[in-house]
Amino acid sequence: MSRLAILATLVVLGLSGSDAALADERMVAAKKDFDVHCAPCHGTDGKGRGPFPPGLAKKPADLTEITAKYGGVFPEDRVFETIAGLDLPEGHGSRDMPIWGDVFITESVGKSTKLEDAMKASDDTSRRIVALIRYIETLQAAP
């Protein structure tokens, strides 16, 4: 099974377990994650005005307008898929946004080839992405 396939099977778990508000601690970690990995393109305020990189074919999305764009309901499943890279409409490599599911899972699993570690890494990755989604939800512009 590919790492992304393992991740995909855990998407459901990741989302269903997260309905209760995440602890502040996780939100702080998510903000840090966002500032390091996402702000370079999307900006720390999420408005898509990060400093780099000028060569992108597509402008980074304004992440504060997602709820507005989707008719007033924050589409968490869709956002999960976008961040994890499960919705590759244009195929691998053509997206201007890195496939974070792969990036995070690789970071987490390291050099291990054990299934156990892969499972844990994909679990960690799901949680990490869910925390990012909660954080992005807090950035939504008031209607």
Amino acid at 134: R
Q: Which of 11, 30, 66, 131 binds ligand HEC (CB under 6 A)?
A: 66
Q: Which of 76, 81, 87, 96 binds ligand HEC (CB under 6 A)?
A: 96
Peptide bond into 53 cis (omega under 30): yes
Q: Does 37 bind ligand HEC (CB under 6 A)?
A: yes
| Selected range binding ligand HEC among 5-13, 17-25, 34-42, 115-123, rule: CB under 6 A | 34-42
| Selected range binding ligand HEC among 12-20, 24-32, 77-85, 107-115, rule: CB under 6 A | 77-85
Q: Does 43 bind ligand HEC (CB under 6 A)?
A: no
Tell me which residue has tokens 């844990």.
120
- From CA 57, how far away is CA 104, in angstroms rounded? 24
Non-local CB neighbours of 54 within 8 Å, separated by 6+ positions: none
- From CA 132, how far away is CA 7, in angstroms rounded? 16
Q: Does 42 bind ligand HEC (CB under 6 A)?
A: yes
Q: Which of 40, 49, 87, 134 binds ligand HEC (CB under 6 A)?
A: 40
Shortest distance in whole angstroms from residue 63 CB to ligand HEC: 6
Q: Does 31 bind ligand HEC (CB under 6 A)?
A: no
For the chain, the C-alpha Rg in angstroms (whole number) is: 15
46 contacts 64 by C-beta, under 8 angstroms:
yes
73 contacts 67 by C-beta, under 8 angstroms:
yes
State the residues that interact with ligand HEC by CB under 6 A. 37-38, 40-42, 56, 58, 60-61, 63, 66, 69, 79, 82-83, 95-98, 100, 132
